[in-house]
Amino acid sequence: MDTEQFFAASRLVIVAGKGGVGKTTVSATLARAAALAGLSTLIVEVEGKSGLAAVFGQGELGYDEVVLAAGGGPDGAADVRARTLTADAALLEYLRDHGLSRVSKRLVSSGALDVVATAAPGIKDILLLGKVKQLVREEVADLIVLDAPAAGHAITFLQSARTLLDTVNVGPINAQARDVLSLLEDHRMCQVVLVTIPEETPVNEAVETAFSLEDRVGIGLGPIVVNGVYPALDGLVADPAAVEAAAASADVSLRAGEAQALADAAAFRLDRAALQAEQVGRLEERLPLPQLRLPFVFTTEIGPHELDELAHAMLAEIGDLAELPL
Amino acid sequence: MTTPADVAAGGIGDLVRHRSIIVCCGSGGVGKTTTAAVVALEGARLGRKTVVVTIDPAKRLADALGLQGLTDTPSRIDGDWPGELWATMLDTKSTFDALVMKHAGDPEQGERILGNRFYRNISGALSGTQEYMAMEKLYELHDETDFDLVVVDTPPTRHALDFLDAPRRLSRFLDHRLFRLLIAPGRGLAKAVNVAAQTFLRTVSRVVGGEVVEDAVAFFQAFEGMEEGFRQRAARVNELLAADGTGFVLVASPRRDTVDEAHYFADRLHEADISVQGLIVNRVHPAFGLGDRADGPGAITAATAAGTARRAESLADTPIGGLYRNLADFQAVAGREHAHLAGLADTVAPAPVVWVPFLSSDVHDLTGLDEIAAHVFLRAG
């Protein structure tokens, strides 16, 4: 499908997944891909110290917005901007906007927010999501990518609006929760992109999370990103004799032990690729969502160069999608 | 850098043999829960009565450990070993409930707290509670049962080590000035401040509703007098964590972000005067072209990897191009991993370090745990 049409499906994309699956990398990739397609993009981070800025080759993020990847270039890319939200800062802003700035400082500095947050669980989450909602409403970017908290906490986080409506039945927080809920339930405004890797446990957990999000939060699910898929590579053979034959036909002479090393590395790749294919198939079977597969990057850290590679891979995958995911 | 050979005589196995508590910590997604299970299984194999406290095991591993439901009491896993293996899943709420009942002046006070809505939210909403209760559970199992070895998994959060300052955090929460003033209104000098407290609470009520504030006030009133007991208990838990019989094992994967997290954990422990007693690195890529490197990431230098990459480049369109590309890719990864891990091994030195390679499938039974154990306890042939 058309990439612009794809990114126009909802203004807010919430990226969720367990620890270790590359959630932050995928948030960055989505944002950069959208920017390459010409959409101005804002990444919102809520946990701090996620390593998001490092992916763009930049230092730590703050509450104030920064440009992580400037647009321009031959493709007319748009900017990728980013900011961190904290519950404390969101609360200060909220109280100030509601004419309560006199006590707001003390509420935060005395640690009283902890007490209030315990009295009404989900209040921190609602403050964060309320701020996100404001950003969506103000249309601060064509696409807003929310790097959600990791693991099971993503469900709690997104469920906070519902939980709060049960505890707090009057007042501004109640109104805020209602507002957030209507945003989350509006599939044209907001969708969740789940991230997983093609391994057994992460696949199981992604399936569980997907159903929980639909049933318990009523949130719309976009395509699921399968991260770290070994790209196809021609000519891999796991047998040293076959490696020797390939060398001979390429007129290459191998050093001692080299055939074995090439064969071992090929065997490892073929073995893992087969396991991955099995898990990708299992995911397809159990979760009727379109998949966007991102290649495994052969390094231990993602930087701007790898990010661009991933963003282009994502654009190609989107191009291959048959129809609107929603 | 400490190599596995240096510590083969003792290594992680020594900890399992001699310590009475092993805490596994590390960031999410590095195989911490599985590693804790592996360590506990080894305890049973060495003839010790061992229990593992897990936080959130993947379903199939939980099944393998006999943890179908959320259960607060350890269940025994049968197997062919001289010791005993027990497992339990942390239930934050019931652990906290038991703690409240233990410190309550009388059963009525305990019940009053347990029935309070604000209290019921604490276990789910107050940050750090899960971490704190994991350590409380550890203390309880160590102090009140006859297990020789307690192995505990820590929550997969960046705040996993918050339990180290649990006493301070908890007292800050329980002694909250504004609520204390509210509980004891109008005594002398406090009176003036009390006006501010009332203003504050009115504001909170306006934002979240009066009912919520009433719940909170009722909780702090019911809790009156119990803070000291909680504080003392928390201090004893911390003493136990710093004691000689306790060993902290860092679990990591070789990716840069998780290595950074592992450095952070090591620093936090160091600040608390606790040294890392072992490092287990999971999901290490093999280093092809250097013989059998099952014992660790090989010394693949950037030059070796670059050489292979150049060869892959020049042979790209030949029948052997793919094979070289693939070897170059894996050598690049192994080289990077080696560089990250060397620094981490230096940080935790002289603690033993073991590398567990990528395994061909997920671990969800005792056979799988044994396969990892072979690497952790250096039995891999």
Name the more confident of A314 and B173.
Answer: A314
The yes-or-no verdict on residue B185 having pLDDT over 60 is no
Cα B155 from Cα B166, distance rounded (Å):
14
Given phi > 0 = left and psi -120 to 50 = alpha, else beta, which region is A200?
alpha
pLDDT at residue B309 is higher than 70? yes
pLDDT tens digits for B336-365? 898 889 899 999 989 999 999 988 777 778
Residues 40-69 of B with CB under 8 A from A: 56, 58-60
- Helix, strand counts (H, E) of chain B: 17, 8
Q: Which amino acid is at A134?
A: Q
- Among candidates A160, A118, A168, which has minimal Cα distance to B121? A118
- Beta carbons of B361 and A301 less than 8 Å apart: no
Least confident of B16-30, B68-82, B205-219: B205-219
How remote is the C-alpha of A121 from its chain's centroid?
25
A69 contacts: CB under 8 Å, gap ≥ 6: A32, A35, A56, A77, A79, A80, A304
How does residue B203 score in pLDDT terms, banded at 50, 70 and 90? confident
Nearest C-alpha neighbor of B291 from the set A242, A244, A257: A257
Which of A115, A124, A254 is most worth mutating to test chain B (most B CB atoms within 10 A of its CB)? A115
With 0-12 / 13-18 / 19 or more C-beta atoms within 10 angstroms meaning exposed / middle / buried, residue A253 is: exposed
Q: How many other C-beta atoms lie within 10 A of the C-beta of residue A17? A: 30
Share of chain B above pLDDT 90, in %: 33
Would you state the pLDDT for residue B229? Answer: 83
Contacting B residues, span 176-215, partner chain A, CB-CB under 8 Å: 176-179, 199-200, 203-204, 206-209, 211-213, 215
Beta-strand pair A143-147/A80-84:
unpaired
CB spacing of B177 vs A237 below 8 angstroms: no
Instruction: Indicate if the pLDDT at residue B325 is higher than 70.
Output: yes
pLDDT digits (tens, 9 = 90+) for B60-82: 677 777 676 656 788 899 889 99
| Chain B partners within 8 Å of A110 (Cβ) | 176-178
Note whether A249 contacts B: Cβ–Cβ < 8 A: yes
Q: Which of A18, A114, A261 sits opposite B173 (nearest CB)?
A: A114
Q: Strand A224-229's sheet: what is its strand order?
A: A66-69, A80-84, A41-45, A143-147, A12-16, A190-196, A224-229, A291-295
Torsion, Cα of B83, B249, B173, A172 (10° steps) = -110
State whether A299 and B199 contact (CB < 8 Å): no
Distance CA B335, CA B326 (A): 14
pLDDT at A7 over 80: yes
Query: Chain B closest CA to A247's CA: distance in Å?
Result: 6
Is the CB of residue A241 less than 8 Å away from at least one CB of chain B?
no
Tell me the residues of chain B between 327 and 356 that have a Cβ less than 8 Å away from chain A: 327, 329-330, 332-333, 336-337, 340
Residue A192 has pLDDT above 90, yes or no: yes
Higher-confidence residue of B122 and A148: namely: A148
Q: Which of A284-288, B23-27, B49-53, B213-217 has the lowest mean pLDDT?
A: B213-217
CA distance B182 to B161: 32
pLDDT at B3: 42
Greater confidence, B295 or B146? Answer: B146
| Interface contact B59-A173, CB threshold 8 A | no
Kindly state the average pLDDT of the residues A203-208: 91
Judged against a pLDDT cut of 60, whether residue B214 lies above it is answered with: yes
Q: Which of residues 258-317 of A touch B (CB under 8 A)?
A: 258, 261-266, 268-269, 271-272, 275, 298-301
Backbone angles phi, psi at A285, to 5 degrees: -65, -40
Look at residues A7, A76, A1, A92 and name the one whose alpha carbon lies nearest to residue A36. A76
Is residue A27 very low, low, confident or very high in pLDDT (cuts 50, 70, 90)?
very high
- What are the residue ranges of helices labelled H in B224-297? 227-242, 256-271
pLDDT at A155 over 50: yes
B360 in A contact zone (CB under 8 Å): yes
* Collapsed DSSP state (helix, strand, coil) of residue A9: coil
pLDDT tens digits along A77-111: 899 999 999 888 887 887 787 777 766 666 666 66
Peptide linkage before A295 cis (omega within 30 of 0): no
Residue A143 CA: distances (Å) to CA of A3, A156, A189, B285:
13, 24, 10, 37
Amino acid at B63: D
Per-chain mean pLDDT for chain B: 81
* A189 class by beta-carbon count within 10 Å (0-12 exposed, 13-18 middle, 19+ buried): middle
Closest chain B C-alpha to A106 CA, distance in angstroms: 9
- The pLDDT score that the predictor gives to residue A275 is 93
Instruction: Choose between A169 and B149: higher pLDDT.
Output: B149
Partners of A252 on chain B (C-beta within 8 Å) are 315, 318, 320
Contact state of B216 with A115 under an 8 Å Cβ cutoff: yes
Report which residue type is found at B86.
W
pTM (predicted TM-score)? 0.87
Chain A residues touching B63 at Cβ < 8 A = none
Nearest residue, CB atoms, A271 vs list B257, B289, B360: B360
* Confidence tier at B101 by pLDDT (50, 70, 90): very high
Q: How far is CA B176 from the centre of its chain?
A: 28
What span, in angstroms and rounded, lies between the C-alpha atoms of B6 and B147?
31
In three-state secondary structure terms, A19 is coil
Of A170, A199, A265, the CB nearest to B327: A265
Averaged pLDDT, B307-311:
91
Q: Do A51 and B253 touch (CB under 8 A)?
A: no
Mean pLDDT throughout B270-282? 91
- Give φ, ψ of B336 to 5 degrees: -65, -45
Q: Give me the percent of chain A exceeding a pLDDT of 70.
A: 91
Does pLDDT of B2 surpass 90? no
Radius of gyration of chain A (CA): 23
Candidate from B208, B212, B319 with C-beta closest to A249: B319
Interface with A, mutate which of B123, B195, B207 (most A CBs under 10 A): B207
Q: Is the pLDDT at A296 greater than 50, yes or no? A: yes
- Tell me what pLDDT residue B105 has: 87
Confidence check on the interface: ipTM exceeds 0.90, yes or no: no
| Least confident residue range of B108-117, B144-153, B159-168 | B159-168
Lowest mean pLDDT among B12-21, B23-32, B168-177, B180-189: B180-189
Q: Tokens 């899960």: give the residue.
A: B130
Q: Which residue has the higher pLDDT, B194 or A270?
A: A270
Give the model's pLDDT for residue B39: 96
**pLDDT score recorded for residue A312:** 96
A236-255 residue pLDDT tens = 999 999 999 999 999 999 98
**pLDDT value, residue B278:** 95
Q: Select the residue of A116, A199, A250 nearest B320 (Cβ to Cβ).
A: A250
